[in-house]
Structure 1
Amino acid sequence: MTSRFTIIRDTAAAAAIPKGSVVAMGNFDGVHLGHRAVIEAALKMSRSHGKPAFAVTFEPHPRKFFSPNTPQFRLTDETNKLRLLAGTGLAGAVVMTFDAARAGTTAQDFIHHDLIARLGVSGIAVGYDFHFGKGRVGSPALLVSEAAQLGIEVDVQPYIDIDERPVSSSAIRMALEEGQISDATAMLGGPWFVTGEVIHGEKRGRDLGYPTANIRLSKECSLRHGIYAVRVGRGQGKDHRRFDGVASFGRRPTFDNGAPLLEVFLFDFTGDLYGTTLDVAFIGFIREELIFDSVEALIRQMDDDAAVARTMLAAAPDAFPKLGNID
């Protein structure tokens, strides 16, 4: 039986935070391989110290605070970020509200008030590019300098690259925008996924012989429009079920060219999914979105897409995001 993943927010009393904990700090958008190196360093440190390890992260993402009117394509919303963190072996997460007060906190105050006085940390793990405090003047070097004087261990992880391409959340976003699913998967250490509630659509898929589960993604999602091979998760724990499928993300140019919608066809499934929450993991990009001259041509293409998706999924590792329970 796994231990409960504890989420601690700004409103929690200081007594709720286990003193002497080790923390992995970062925004952790996507919880990619670079983030996982920081988390593993914190876990290793926590075993050495005999203390629990927590993530320290910030919500909303600082980019959203500083540029509220600029679309921000997040790899993971807050809930899915926490679910991924809960699947790493961490004891919990400290979620700090990023607001005007946080943006105005000096780096020294963040170290001495938040990390030392409030959290009482015994160790800190960060990535090489982690910056914090007013004006982003806080750096890993400052953490090492300040914390070392207080006997607090600091581990700074170097960048990770794949084929000489540094792993970063921005590089993963770019890969998804280009439909480069294999590149995104490699940098994440597993498939990128989205979560959403199945909503009613126009029922066109049913008439075409491909009834779909329709999910409205964030307006800021800039995943390339097209057809994908996907794996779909439903439920948690002993109730978790997995399905293979093929999905379309886009505007349906043959019909209405409307707002972007994720439409997922689950292979070998019958039943009602309306109101159900699904996790959809993207395994491979099949083709771009096209306009068809006839419904018959569209159905022939959908048959081909389903066959390609089955082949892709059969050849792909049986991977799915490792998600923890945060309920």
Structure 2
Amino acid sequence: MKQLFRDVDGGPLCPEGSVACIGAFDGLHLGHRALVGHATERARALGLPLATLSFEPLPREFFAPDAPPPRLMLPRARAEGLFALGADLVGLLRFNRAFAAMSPDGFAQRVLARRLRAREVWVGPGFRYGNRRAGDLGTLQAAGERLGFSAGEIAPVMLDGGRVSSTRIRAALVAGDFTTAARLLGHAYAIGGRVVRGRQLGRTLGFPTANLRFRGKVPALQGIYATRVHGVGDAPWPSVSSFGTRPTVDGIEPLLEAHLFDFDGDLYGRRIEVEFVARLRDEEKYPDLPTLVAQMDRDAAQAREILMHTSQRATA
């Protein structure tokens, strides 16, 4: 049975023991998949559940609330992805002031030993933890000797002469290089969520959209894109999407708006996934709605042309 938990303290979640792995897991790229895959193999070999530990908000978001790093995925998608990779328990631990002040030994004792009864703990290269990032692999191994678990790290996953990282993926997305982003991720970049009601302005302009909120997080990309929407029909649905704050209509919150070509149906409340295929242009502010509509017509035509000549993604 899959279990999601948020709290540091509480009764043991794995009374018979567990194998744990720890990481930010933003994007679940090839490096993350290697870490979770290795931990999954160890858990199955020992006959123990696999617990993956991450944090929400991410530490860099907590420490830089006025300039948070762009996020590749939302918390729900991260948890669902970790479960799909083999996790039996996913911890999205509440990263708050008390958690940030926790010493490395406190984390090892309260979370790894007491909460998870960990027997093995696996981390990625350069792992740091605890107050002021004082803990590293050596600290973790020393704690494990006292508390009854072993700790190890996996080798870095390299691609094109560099380490696979969320930072590289963000840079590729900003540049509109979805081919490189997909190679680093192991699949095409996409954002999933439940369709919400917007202002329905697009419908009045002849461009009805399926809208996804990014839940107060800073997205890793912004602009107008050729996209495909998954979860609507038997095959991915060609579309053109805007991801931004909609400056022409004085929007504030980042919103992903996907216009599905030749689609007639109600998607409100449905979970969909928007796959990004190609970047068309920056988001711009136009002097009036007719000018905006004329540009939307051009965007739609360009997106249709690109999608006709771009193969669909392989299943991740």
Structure 1-normalised TM-score?
A: 0.82
Q: Which residue of 2 aligns with 1:271?
A: 265
C-alpha change, 1:304 and 1:54, in structure 2 (3 Å) is same
Gaps spanning 5+ residues in structure 1: where? 321-327
Matching residue within 163, 166, 174 for 1:166: 163
C-alpha change, 1:139 and 1:219, in structure 2 (3 Å) is closer
Q: Matched residues, percent identical?
A: 31
- Residues 1:319 and 2:281 aligned together: no
Q: Which residue of 1 aligns with 2:174?
A: 177
Q: 1:118-133 alignment to 2 at 5 Å?
A: 118-133=115-130
Q: Which residue of 2 aligns with 1:325?
A: none
Once residues 232 and 306 of structure 1 are traced to their aligned partners in structure 2, the CA distance between those partners, rounded to angstroms, is 16
CA contact (8 A) 2:226 2:306 kept: no
Once the two structures are superposed, what CA deviation does each residue of 1:109-136 show, in whole Å capped at 9, x if it has no partner? Answer: 2223321233210111100121101111
Once the two structures are superposed, what CA deviation does each residue of 1:121-152 show, in whole Å capped at 9, x if it has no partner? Answer: 01111001211011111111222343246653
Q: Which residue of 2 aligns with 1:85?
A: 82
Q: Which residue of 2 aligns with 1:310?
A: 308
Q: Which residue of 2 aligns with 1:47?
A: 44
Q: 1:132-211 alignment to 2 at 5 Å?
A: 132-148=129-145, 152-194=149-191, 195-204=193-202, 207-208=205-206, 210-211=207-208
- Residues 1:228 and 2:226 aligned together: yes
- What secondary structure is seen at the aligned counterpart in 2 of 1:31? coil
C-alpha change, 1:112 and 1:282, in structure 2 (3 Å) is same
C-alpha change, 1:304 and 1:113, in structure 2 (3 Å) is closer
Once residues 220 and 234 of structure 2 are traced to their aligned partners in structure 1, the CA distance between those partners, rounded to angstroms, is 28
Q: What's the Cα RMSD here?
A: 2.9
Post-superposition offset of 1:296: 5.3
Post-superposition offset of 1:247: 1.8
Structure 2-normalised TM-score?
A: 0.85
Amino acid at match of 1:306: R
- What secondary structure is seen at the aligned counterpart in 2 of 1:306? helix
Matching residue within 18, 24, 29 for 2:26: 29
Amino acid at match of 2:274: V
Gaps spanning 5+ residues in structure 2: where? none
**How many residues of Structure 1 are paired with residues of Structure 2 in the alignment?**
309
Comparing 122-131 with 211-220, greater Cα deviation is found at 211-220
Once residues 168 and 308 of structure 2 are traced to their aligned partners in structure 1, the CA distance between those partners, rounded to angstroms, is 28
- What secondary structure is seen at the aligned counterpart in 2 of 1:122? strand
Post-superposition offset of 1:156: 0.4
Once the two structures are superposed, what CA deviation does each residue of 1:198-233 show, in whole Å capped at 9, x if it has no partner? Answer: 32345445644x432233434622413122222333
CA contact (8 A) 1:246 1:309 kept: no
C-alpha change, 1:192 and 1:304, in structure 2 (3 Å) is closer
C-alpha change, 1:138 and 1:205, in structure 2 (3 Å) is same
C-alpha change, 1:69 and 1:120, in structure 2 (3 Å) is same
C-alpha change, 1:252 and 1:302, in structure 2 (3 Å) is farther
- What secondary structure is seen at the aligned counterpart in 2 of 1:16? coil
Post-superposition offset of 1:53: 0.7
Once residues 97 and 251 of structure 1 are traced to their aligned partners in structure 2, the CA distance between those partners, rounded to angstroms, is 28
CA contact (8 A) 1:178 1:224 kept: no
Post-superposition offset of 1:258: 4.3
Q: Which residue of 1 aligns with 2:277?
A: 283
- What secondary structure is seen at the aligned counterpart in 2 of 1:265? strand
- What secondary structure is seen at the aligned counterpart in 1 of 2:54? strand
Once residues 118 and 258 of structure 1 are traced to their aligned partners in structure 2, the CA distance between those partners, rounded to angstroms, is 44
Once residues 289 and 179 of structure 1 are traced to their aligned partners in structure 2, the CA distance between those partners, rounded to angstroms, is 14
Post-superposition offset of 1:21: 0.3
Amino acid at match of 1:311: H
Amino acid at match of 1:263: E
